[in-house]
Structure 1
Amino acid sequence: MRIADLITWFEEWANPAWCESWDNCGWQVEPGILQEPARVLVCLTPTLAVMQEAIASNANLIFAHHPLIFSPPKSFRIGEAIADMVRLAFLHNIGIYSAHTNFDQVQDGTADVLAQILELQDSTPIVPTQNGLGYGRVGNLQPVITLEKLLTVIHHQLAPKSLIVSPTADLHQEISRVAVLGGSGASYISAVLKTHAQAYLTSDCKFHQFQESRDRGLILIDAGHYATERPACDRLTQKLRSLNLDWVELSQHDEDFREFFPE
Structure 2
Amino acid sequence: MKLIELTRFLESLAPLALQESYDNSGLIIGDPKQDVNKALVSLDCTESIIDEAIHNQCDLVITHHPIVFKGMKRFNNASYIERVVTKAIRHNIALYAIHTNLDNVEGGVNTKIMERLGVEKPIVLAPKKNILKKLRVFVPFTHSETVKNALFAAGAGDISNYSECSFSGKGVGTFLANEQADPTIGTIGLREEVEEAAIEVLYPSYLERNILIAMFETHPYEEVAYDIYSLDNTHQNVGSGMIGDLPSALNSKDFLAFLKEKMEVRVIRYTQEPNKPIQRVAVCGGAGSFLLQKAIQAGADVFISADFKYHEFFDAEDKIMIADIGHFESEQFTQHLLLEVIRKKFPNFAIQITKESTNPIKYYF
Category of TM-score, reference length = shorter chain:
over 0.9
What does 1:112-191 correspond to in 2, within 5 Å? 112-129=111-128, 130-167=235-272, 169-170=273-274, 173-191=276-294
TM norm structure 2: 0.68
Do the aligned residues in 1 keep the contact of 2:125 with 2:241 (CA within 8 Å)? yes
Do the aligned residues in 2 keep the contact of 1:50 with 1:254 (CA within 8 Å)? no
1:14 aligned residue: 14
Do the aligned residues in 1 keep the contact of 2:242 with 2:283 (CA within 8 Å)? yes
What does 1:96-107 correspond to in 2, within 5 Å? 96-107=95-106
Q: Which amino acid aligns with 2:270?
A: V
| Pick aligned residue for 2:360 from 242, 257, 261 | 257
Question: How many angstroms does 1:119 deviate by?
Answer: 1.2
1:161 match: secondary structure: coil
Partner Cα distance (1:89, 1:33) in 2: 15
Partner Cα distance (1:184, 1:203) in 2: 5
Partner Cα distance (2:247, 2:313) in 1: 27
Do the aligned residues in 2 keep the contact of 1:39 with 1:247 (CA within 8 Å)? yes
Partner Cα distance (1:164, 1:131) in 2: 30
Range that drifts further, 144-153 or 39-48 = 144-153
TM norm structure 1: 0.93
| 2:341 maps to 1:239 | yes
| 1:180-228 deviation per Cα after TM superposition (whole angstroms, max 9, x unaligned) | 1110001111111111101000001111111111x15110000000110
1:66 aligned residue: 65
Question: How many angstroms does 1:33 deviate by?
Answer: 6.2
Do the aligned residues in 1 keep the contact of 2:286 with 2:327 (CA within 8 Å)? yes
Question: How many angstroms does 1:179 deviate by?
Answer: 0.2
Do the aligned residues in 2 keep the contact of 1:50 with 1:253 (CA within 8 Å)? yes
Q: Which amino acid aligns with 1:95?
A: A
CA RMSD across the alignment: 1.5
2:330 aligned residue: 228
Partner Cα distance (1:78, 1:196) in 2: 49
1:55 match: secondary structure: helix
| 1:136-173 deviation per Cα after TM superposition (whole angstroms, max 9, x unaligned) | 11001112222222211211121223111103x15x74
What does 1:194-209 correspond to in 2, within 5 Å? 194-209=297-312
Partner Cα distance (1:159, 1:122) in 2: 23
1:253 match: secondary structure: coil
Percent of residue pairs identical: 25
Question: How many angstroms does 1:124 deviate by?
Answer: 0.7
Which is higher, the Rg of structure 1 or of structure 2? Answer: 2
Q: Which amino acid aligns with 2:91?
A: H
1:41 aligned residue: 40
| 1:114-151 deviation per Cα after TM superposition (whole angstroms, max 9, x unaligned) | 11111111211111123512211100111222222221
Do the aligned residues in 2 keep the contact of 1:39 with 1:245 (CA within 8 Å)? no
Question: Structure 1 unaligned runs (5+)?
Answer: none
Partner Cα distance (2:22, 2:256) in 1: 33
Partner Cα distance (1:218, 1:119) in 2: 20
| 2:158 maps to 1:56 | no
Question: Structure 2 unaligned runs (5+)?
Answer: 129-234
Partner Cα distance (2:89, 2:358) in 1: 23
| 1:36-79 deviation per Cα after TM superposition (whole angstroms, max 9, x unaligned) | 13411111010001010111111111101001111112322124
